[in-house]
Amino acid sequence: MDTMKHGGWVLQHATTDVLLKLKPHAEAAWKHMQHWSDPLLQRASPYLESSTRWMDAQLGGLMPWQIAILSAVTVLLLVWLLQLVLAAATDLKEAGVLQSMFEVMKRLPGIRGIVQRENAKMLVKIRASINKENGVSHEQQYLELPKVGMAADDLKARLQSRGKRDVAFKEGSSRVSGTLYLMGQEHCRLLNDVYASYSHTNPMHADVFPSVRQMELEVVAMTAAMLGGGPSGDREVCGAMTSGGTESILTAVKASRDYMRARKGIRRPEMVVGQSAHAAFFKAAEYFNVKLVMVPVGKDYRVSAAAVARAMTRNTVLVVASSPCFPHGVIDDVTGIAALARRHGVCCHVDACLGGFVLPFARAAGYPVPPFDFAVPGVTSMSVDTHKFGMAHKGTSVVLYRSSAIRRHQYTRVTEWSGGLYISPGFAGSRSGALISTAWTSMLHQGHQGYVKLTDQMMKASRQFAEGVQAIEGLELAGKPAMTVVAFKATKPRALNIYAVNDALSARGWHLNALQLPPALHMCFTAQHASVVEALLKDLRDVVQDLQSGGEQVKDGMAPVYGLASVSPDRNIIGEFLVAYQDVLLSG
């Protein structure tokens, strides 16, 4: 879904406000600086000369040992200054000259106040806009415990009324890209029943709930067997369950970092990812102090081995390939990138959060699928989401490793705790056994044939859509779709604003994903889209035609925001907007 959908117009207003207000101040500040700096230098020069004469006179009366101490102190001072300058230079290099200038400018007295006031105004606007769109103002809010507990019937009625605000859809005709992966009322009911019967369980207590432990290891084993592990592949492949794709990626990055530290003693770890790699890698870099080295994608939107090779250093611990990537749905050069990792003796993660439960079955259904999993030598870990195309409830995913020698680096052991001897497999302590049981149930209920059938249906829908897009004048595909994600952009961005296309589609009830770098949109087809392709293509054709023949853009849409985000040199203002938006979501 589009994170910035609500209150999107606010950013445009807020940032243009800030930029416009800053401009005269910047100019004035510059003039002001020249005004006092020139005379100051002139006035200072006689003092500078006399001070050197003064120093000569002073030093002349000193003993040699005193001069030696003075020199030593001076050297130390210079070193300290040099360090300061170097640190500033590093900041400058990392943030970029332009961004650093903006940061300095925004800290100047007078300007800082304006930025703060504008940010406060922005927050108020975002809050009002989100609450209006979500209909919050019409509902009673509960921000403190009720004195007396509410009756079950009452609560159910309230939940039902709140649920009415959410997007509703009929089976198989979702208008939302991705998001809803679960399919079939019968499948869904089964999972809900299973959840209810395991809702009290927790795999942390393997001795109390041995059934859950057994289900977790079976989910992992079945997933590994689909992806180049298991009896017909590499039997060493192993893994663990996590709460979702992001956690699988975070876990793999942490394990790879510590594995490489143990093997090669790398203490300033770096990882190389394509610009199309999932945002979870950026999060992992932030959490685990791994330097993120980002490489651009090629003309085909894939990350090439050559690009990765250029970015590798002695400190590289991990290189990443996506199968496929979220934005354009293309599969990176897994074979080339994994070979590179193998040659350098470093880890290689394949992110198959999206593709893990599609690509093996697409291959079985006869679609061409390049090597992308543990069948490729050099791949050391993978992330695979049971809660996407595995058709399980949200809250489960699988992280896989080439061998248990890597997996053990995701564990935490504590031997000096008064609470006892402690070992934990990953980030979480307690976990939901119920979610594990639903993932297990989903996989066994679908079976190989069930997944192949659903995949074939989704592949057909995606191909039909891709062909339809290519036939629309003014649009072209952004990358050749490897599976069920179809990305497209304007053939001539000056003639057609693709974000305006998105706004017009949103006005017709569609929720597509907006991409950037370059501006594009994508639709991720799931089992819920079997009967909507024609309708989507028709709306897309109408909207593009209308905009190209001078039709009005949707008012208060996202197009101006993305337009601004794509040209704004101050990335921090965009970042500040995102943070303000998140603040509002979390606190009302």
Ligand X SMILES: *Cc1c(COP(=O)(O)O)cnc(C)c1O
* Residues near ligand X (CB under 6 A): 244-246, 278, 280, 322, 325-326, 351, 353-354, 385, 397
Do the Cβ atoms of 321 and 351 come closer than 8 Å? Answer: yes
DSSP classification of residue 164: T
Q: Whole-number minimum distance, CB 28 to ligand X, in Å? A: 47
Q: Whole-number minimum distance, CB 278 to ligand X, in Å? A: 3
Q: Whole-number minimum distance, CB 457 to ligand X, in Å? A: 20
172: how many CB neighbours lie within 10 A of its CB?
15
Closest C-alpha among 512, 479, 458 to residue 175 = 512
Paired tokens of 452: 């192949």
Nearer to ligand X, 216 or 385 (CB): 385
H-helix or E-strand spanning residue 274: strand 270-274
Nearer to ligand X, 246 or 316 (CB): 246
Outline where 471-497 has alpha helix (H): none
Nearer to ligand X, 305 or 353 (CB): 353
- Local structure of 318: helix, strand or coil: strand
Nearer to ligand X, 385 or 576 (CB): 385
Q: Whole-number minimum distance, CB 277 to ligand X, in Å? A: 8
Q: Whole-number minimum distance, CB 96 to ligand X, in Å? A: 27
Nearer to ligand X, 322 or 410 (CB): 322
Query: Which residue's Cβ lies closest to ligand X?
Result: 245
> What does residue 443 show for φ and ψ, rounded to 5 degrees?
-65, -45
Enumerate helices (H) and strands (E) in the chain, giving the number of each: 18, 13
Q: Whole-number minimum distance, CB 321 to ligand X, in Å? A: 11
| Alpha-carbon span 561 to 571, nearest angstrom | 13
Buried/exposed 307-340: b ≥16 CB within 10 Å, e otherwise: bbbebbeebbbbbbbbbbbbbbbbbbbbbbbbbb
| Alpha-carbon span 352 to 384, nearest angstrom | 5
Q: Whole-number minimum distance, CB 356 to ligand X, in Å? A: 10
| Alpha-carbon span 358 to 331, nearest angstrom | 13
Closest C-alpha among 331, 358, 206, 223 to residue 277 = 331
Q: Whole-number minimum distance, CB 273 to ligand X, in Å? A: 11
Nearer to ligand X, 129 or 322 (CB): 322
Q: Whole-number minimum distance, CB 496 to ligand X, in Å? A: 27
| Alpha-carbon span 311 to 274, nearest angstrom | 10
Nearer to ligand X, 181 or 451 (CB): 181
| Alpha-carbon span 59 to 66, nearest angstrom | 9
14 contacts: CB under 8 Å, gap ≥ 6 = 118, 119, 121, 122, 125, 577
Nearer to ligand X, 284 or 533 (CB): 284
Closest C-alpha among 8, 21, 26, 28 to residue 117 = 21
Secondary structure (DSSP) of 379-397: --EEEE-TTTTT-PPSS-E
74: how many CB neighbours lie within 10 A of its CB?
10
Nearer to ligand X, 278 or 529 (CB): 278
Nearer to ligand X, 115 or 354 (CB): 354
Q: Whole-number minimum distance, CB 247 to ligand X, in Å? A: 7
Q: Whole-number minimum distance, CB 373 to ligand X, in Å? A: 14
Nearer to ligand X, 335 or 397 (CB): 397
Q: Whole-number minimum distance, CB 208 to ligand X, in Å? A: 28
| Alpha-carbon span 219 to 361, nearest angstrom | 17
441 contacts: CB under 8 Å, gap ≥ 6 = 190, 191, 194, 392
Q: Whole-number minimum distance, CB 352 to ligand X, in Å? A: 8
| Alpha-carbon span 302 to 479, nearest angstrom | 8
Do the Cβ atoms of 202 and 431 come closer than 8 Å? Answer: yes
Partners of 475 in the beta sheet?
A: 490
Nearer to ligand X, 354 or 523 (CB): 354
Nearer to ligand X, 376 or 524 (CB): 524
